[in-house]
Amino acid sequence: MNINDCFNCRIRVENVNFYYAKSQALKNINLDMFNNNATAIIGPSGCGKSTFIRLLNRMNELIPNTNLEGKILLDGKDINAIDTDVVEIRQLVGMVFQKPNPFPKSIYNNLSYGLEVKGIKDKHLIEKRIIESLKKSVLWDEVKDRLHDNALRLSGGQQQRLCIARCLAVEPEVILFDEPCASLDPISTAKIEELIVELKKNYTIVIVTHNMQQAARVSDFTAFFLLGELIEFGTTEKIFTSPKNKKTEEYLTGRFG
Amino acid sequence: MNKIGKVKEFFIEKLIVICGSLSIIFVILIFIFLAREGLTFFKYESIKDFIFGRNWYPLSNPARFGVLPLILGSVMVTLGAMAISIPLGVACAFYIAEIVNPKMKDILKTGIELLAAIPSVVIGFVGMVTLVPMVKKIFHLPTGLTALSGSIMLAFMAMPTIVSIAEDAITAVPKRYKEAALALGATHWQAIYKVILVAAAPGIFAAIMLGIGRVIGETMAVMMITGNAAVIPHTLLEPVRTLTATIAAEMGEAIRGSNHYYALYAVGIILFIITFVINFIADIFLHRIKK
Ligand SMILES: Nc1ncnc2c1ncn2[C@@H]1O[C@H](COP(=O)(O)OP(=O)(O)OP(=O)(O)O)[C@@H](O)[C@H]1O
Ligand SMILES: [Mg+2]
């Protein structure tokens, strides 16, 4: 395969195997994720979705005794190469976790952290970015009068939107969502879905979800994982209307998983 | 069966109540005793001369009971020990919790907990034969029995407590905070410094307070190493004598009912007040951090 072939391919995963200690969690995955598109990762619990998405910003490195084979290319560059700076990768590839995980700090400091880490010191710029990202994540109206309250006092849905804002504030180009709505009520879920649809105009989005309707609503491409293998990949429309693989069809129609 | 169970329950409950109240009663009794004996002293001597007196000559004639040099000795040794043990201890805790590999972590943690179990006399003795000559040589002093030696020794004794408890606090910080920080593009150091340290702050603070508690109450090692000269110290390189060491050294020879005897209890009251104030401040801080 030639890198130049993928004209709007942002992330390319090539022959990836991944192991926790001795158990293999991902088997020979090949997958492209495209610019200004949302790619949904679906599949039953334990099939390796989180493992996969965490490879894309090198979060699995934090777990001892893991092993990665194969290549992951971001804009054609191997993110695991020795001369690649992991900090740079993570600034480019942001992540929103399954469970909201704001820092035990004020709302303001939650958002300013990523900017300070980047070396931005200009108070006005920090403030501007904070307001922008809170507006983008549809949280601004709810928190504008209490930016210095502790973030842990927000509701679960608000916390998750704060985490999204925190991720947006550092201006990544790719955003990984690992079941962002898992602990949210329908209203917050709808707000976040709206946001993702909006975000994909400017970002590359990868979203893990258990919710088929959600995948159908927000994504352009869908990848179906089963037991660590990528069973089928295609446009969301095609996967949902005429899946080629029998297992995909069975999963989508709710016969297992 | 049910009835027996209820009776058992009743007795166990009462037993716990008795144990609990006994420990409180003992503390109160000790306090009353201390206050009674100590306050007797002030019938004969003025409080002002006691606290601001610059000379402690309990056996001269007339005897002088100025406790200021002892207070300053204690304060100096304690502050010195804190200055050494807090930064080193917290850094060490972070090293063990965050940087070292899991296998080495187990070894280090066990080692540090073992250190905490060494009796203070032993530490004092080792300090006397190793640290004291070293301090004497390095600073070209007439004697190595100085406040500095005492501070280093006490720091050494406070460190296991600080490291072990601070390490627990750091390890207990939910992993998701660290993941969130790293996912934002923070370096490991930035995650430690701005997120993990903040989240673990109450626990680290508690660790420091417990470490200081050990330092202030310590008697044996300090007595062996600080030179025991009851003079007002000007630098860390002079011999000092602490409040605790004074009580321990002189209680045996003080005649019961003499002014000297009551003076030592008055020293005990001072010690009590100092510890109380420190605990009080610690409490205020802890509450503030928790908010
Ligand atoms: N830290 C870990 N150590 C060892 N094995 C792990 C670890 N994390 C995940 N696994 C294993 O890897 C496999 C894939 O897990 P993963 O979390 O990627 O699944 P998932 O598709 O995200 O599931 P879910 O939908 O429940 O979140 C599972 O069998 C799991 O037990
Ligand atoms: Mg998962």
Task: Report whether the peptide linkage leading into residue A100 is cis, meaning its omega lies within 30 degrees of zero.
Answer: no
Residues B162 and B25 in one domain: no
CB contact under 8 A, A103 and B183: no
Residues B216 and B283 in one domain: yes
Q: What is the pLDDT of residue A106?
A: 93
Start-to-end CA distance of chain A, whole Å, equals: 33
**DSSP conformational letter for A255:** S
Q: What is the pLDDT of residue B107?
A: 94
Residues A134-148 pLDDT 10s: 998 888 999 999 999
Q: What is the pLDDT of residue B217?
A: 82
CB B191 within 8 A of CB B98: no
Alpha-carbon gap, residue B217 to B244, rounded angstroms: 7
Closest residue by CA, ligand 1 atom 9: A51
Domain span at B230: 48-290
Q: What is the pLDDT of residue B172?
A: 92
Considering CB atoms only, which of B101, B102, B184 is closest to A117?
B184
Q: Which residue has the tokens 């640290």?
A: B131
Look at residue A12 and tell me if it is in a domain.
Answer: yes
CB contact under 8 A, A117 and B178: no
Band (pLDDT 50/70/90 cuts) for residue A3 is: very low
Residues B25 and B90 in one domain: no
Residues 6+ apart with CB under 8 A from B250: B58, B260, B264
Closest residue by CA, ligand 1 atom 7: A20
**Mind telling me how many Å the CA of B88 is from chain A's nearest CA?**
25
> How many domains, in total, are found in chain B?
2
Lowest mean pLDDT among A166-180, A197-211, B276-290: B276-290
Residues B131 and B255 in one domain: yes
Residues A53-62 pLDDT 10s: 999 999 999 8
Residues B29 and B52 in one domain: no
> Which atom in ligand 1 lies closest to the alpha carbon of residue A47?
21
Q: Which residues of A touch B104 (CB under 8 A)?
A: none
- Domain of B71, CATH number, reads 1.10.3720.10
Q: Which residue has the tokens 């991902």?
A: A26
Residues A212-256 pLDDT 10s: 889 999 999 999 999 999 999 999 999 999 888 888 888 888 766
- Domain of A217, CATH number, reads 3.40.50.300
Q: What is the mean pLDDT of chain A?
A: 90
CB contact under 8 A, B199 and A103: yes
Locate B256 and state its tokens: 């019961």
Residues A72-124 pLDDT 10s: 999 989 999 999 999 999 999 999 998 899 999 999 999 999 999 989 999 99
Interface residue of A56, A63, A87, A148 to substitute, partner B, most B CBs within 10 Å: A87
Look at residue A190 and tell me if it is in a domain.
Answer: yes
Alpha-carbon gap, residue B18 to B16, rounded angstroms: 5
Q: Which residues of B touch A59 (CB under 8 A)?
A: 179, 182-183
Interface residue of A101, A110, A152, A175 to substitute, partner B, most B CBs within 10 Å: A101
Nearest chain A residue (CA) to B193: A117
Q: What is the pLDDT of residue B260?
A: 92
Is pLDDT at A66 greater than 60 in this prediction?
yes
Residues B86 and B160 in one domain: yes
**Mind telling me how many Å the CA of B116 is from chain A's nearest CA?**
30
Q: Which residue has the tokens 């000092």?
A: B240
Q: What is the pLDDT of residue A4?
A: 43
- Contacting A with CB below 8 Å, chain B residues are 101-102, 174, 176-187, 190, 194-195, 198-199
Residues B234 and B285 in one domain: yes
Residues B120 and B255 in one domain: yes
**Mind telling me how many Å the CA of B101 is from chain A's nearest CA?**
9
Q: What is the pLDDT of residue B277?
A: 87
Q: What is the pLDDT of residue A184?
A: 78
Q: What is the pLDDT of residue A229?
A: 92
Residues B90 and B170 in one domain: yes
CB contact under 8 A, B176 and A99: yes
Report helix, strand or coil for A202.
coil
Interface residue of B184, B196, B197, B289 to substitute, partner A, most A CBs within 10 Å: B184
CA of B67 to the centre of ligand 2 (A): 66
Residues B22 and B113 in one domain: no
> How many domains, in total, are found in chain A?
1
Percent of chain A with pLDDT over 70: 96
Q: What is the pLDDT of residue A2?
A: 44
Ligand nearest to the CA of A54: 1
Residues B144 and B257 in one domain: yes
Is pLDDT at A16 greater than 50 in this prediction?
yes
Q: What is the pLDDT of residue A255?
A: 64
Domain span at A116: 3-252
Closest residue by CA, ligand 1 atom 18: A48
CB contact under 8 A, B183 and A97: yes
Give me the residues of chain B with pLDDT under 50, please. Answer: none
Neighbours of B235 (CB within 10 A): 10
Nearest chain A residue (CA) to B101: A64
CB A26 within 8 A of CB A226: no
Look at residue A14 and tell me if it is in a domain.
Answer: yes
Ligand nearest to the CA of A41: 1
Look at residue A257 and tell me if it is in a domain.
Answer: no
CB A14 within 8 A of CB A73: yes
Residues B24 and B68 in one domain: no
Alpha-carbon gap, residue A144 to A148, rounded angstroms: 9
